Homo-oligomer: A and B are copies of this chain.
Amino acid sequence: MAKVKVGIIGGSGYTGSELLRLLCKHPNIEVIAVTSRKLEGKRIWECHPFLKGFYDISFVSPELKNMEGCDVVFTAVPHGEAMKYVPQLLDVGIKVVDLSADYRLKKDVYERVYGLKHEGYRDAAYGLPELHRDEIAKAELVANPGCYPTGCILAVAPLAKAGLIERIIFDSKSGITGAGIKPTEFTHYPNLHEAIVPYKVTNHRHYYEMVQELEELQCDVKVSFTPQVFPGSRGILTNAHVFLKDRIDMEEIRRMYEEFYADCYFVRIQNEARLSWVRGSNFCDIAIFPGEDRVVVSSAIDNLVKGASGQAVQNMNIMLGLDEKTGLDFPPLFP
């Protein structure tokens, strides 16, 4: 079978390099174009030495003509940037998985939350395959979810689907790669060493994705969200403190989760959720802890894989009619 031709717009950051890591061993894919404005002309491994030996091509500039011949393009650029490329790509018949925030929210919500006028709005499937597999299969454009919403939504979806939730408080801890590849005061090593740093404590924009998705499952759900970083590179560990409308048997809850995720290869119900049990992989591990008046559900993902590029490849697989596991069916790197 001829390989599907893939392009990546934005190949110099962490989600770009992670796409390159995952796609180089994908059996049905050939990456033919990777863009970077500032690295144009350089070999991919000159920017990403860990990939030495895996790619021979060089970065090109992010123009439409450089995506010619692509069947699918990943846009791995900041929000506000993606909307400049996506409509053009769709218009020439290229399928798109957008890793930015530009197509995740309804237009008006997006414009309010991100403080930007949306210049190239299109309908997109929300790329959480565990909830939207069929829509994704039919979509030309998939909005890849934010890293936090992926772990948060998967942690509570079965309970929301059953309408059981009174209130959820998500307390999430992310590795530092979530802050991107550009050095800032926030990512300066001594500011993070031996630290837990809450930020945007009550006003992170990923909150709106969670609400949008969870309200679809249970219209009256109340959600709070606090993100923070922990001293590590990869991973998001979320504690979902869930207060239920009624008491419910723990065995029943566990059964609900098992059933809800029965066909979801990448969700595993475990006794604990450990970042080292999912690192480098596309798995979302979930553990459920009963309390007196609440349930705590912990979820663990690798923020760059299930929280970004791995999920993007999973979405691409579904859009192409491939098994969603293709190219992603390998174990985590433990410890």
Asked whether, in the complex, the Cβ of A24 is within 8 Å of the Cβ of B190, the reply is no
Instruction: Report the Cα distance A273→B202, complex, angstroms.
Output: 15
Quick check: which of A31-39, A68-76, A157-165, A229-237 contacts chain B, the rest being far away? Answer: A229-237
**Whole-angstrom distance from the CB of A227 to the nearest CB of chain B?**
10
Interface of A is mostly: loop
Question: Looking at the complex, which one of B167, B171, B175 makes contact with A171 (CB distance below 8 Å)?
Answer: B171
Query: Which residue of chain B has the shortest Cβ distance to A190 in the bound complex?
Result: B335
Asked whether, in the complex, the Cβ of A296 is within 8 Å of the Cβ of B201, the reply is yes
Question: Looking at the complex, which one of B195, B272, B277 makes contact with A276 (CB distance below 8 Å)?
Answer: B195
Query: Which residue of chain B has the shortest Cβ distance to A224 in the bound complex?
Result: B294
Contacts of A53 in B (CB 8 A): 265, 268
Residue-wise, chain A 88-132 has the 8 Å CB interface mask toward B (1 for contact) of 000000000000000000000000000000000000000000000
Residue-wise, chain A 201-235 has the 8 Å CB interface mask toward B (1 for contact) of 11100000000000000000010101010111111
Query: Which residue of chain B has the shortest Cβ distance to A265 in the bound complex?
Result: B53
Contacts of A203 in B (CB 8 A): 291
Query: Which residue of chain B has the shortest Cβ distance to A198 in the bound complex?
Result: B298
**Whole-angstrom distance from the CB of A216 to the nearest CB of chain B?**
20
Asked whether, in the complex, the Cβ of B289 is within 8 Å of the Cβ of A201, the reply is yes
Asked whether, in the complex, the Cβ of A226 is within 8 Å of the Cβ of B296, the reply is yes
Residue-wise, chain A 223-266 has the 8 Å CB interface mask toward B (1 for contact) of 01010101111110101010100000000000000000000010
Say yes or no for A194: interface residue by CB 8 A criterion. yes
Say yes or no for A65: interface residue by CB 8 A criterion. no
Say yes or no for A169: interface residue by CB 8 A criterion. yes
* Most interface-central of A48, A185, A243, A334 (chain B CB within 10 A): A334
Asked whether, in the complex, the Cβ of B230 is within 8 Å of the Cβ of A231, the reply is yes
**Whole-angstrom distance from the CB of A263 to the nearest CB of chain B?**
13
Asked whether, in the complex, the Cβ of A233 is within 8 Å of the Cβ of B189, the reply is yes
Asked whether, in the complex, the Cβ of A190 is within 8 Å of the Cβ of B177, the reply is yes
**Whole-angstrom distance from the CB of A302 to the nearest CB of chain B?**
9
Given known A183-B183, A222-B293, A275-B195, contact A52–B235 (CB-CB < 8 A): no
Question: Looking at the complex, which one of B194, B195, B280 makes contact with A193 (CB distance below 8 Å)?
Answer: B194
Chain A residues close to B by CB (< 8 Å): 14, 17, 21, 24-25, 48-54, 167, 169, 171, 173, 175-177, 181, 183-185, 187-198, 201-203, 222, 224, 226, 228, 230-235, 237, 239, 241, 243, 265, 268, 270-280, 285, 289-294, 296, 298, 329-335
14 A-B contacts, Cβ less than 8 Å apart? A169-B169, A181-B190, A189-B189, A194-B231, A194-B233, A195-B274, A195-B276, A196-B230, A197-B272, A198-B272, A198-B273, A226-B296, A228-B237, A279-B333
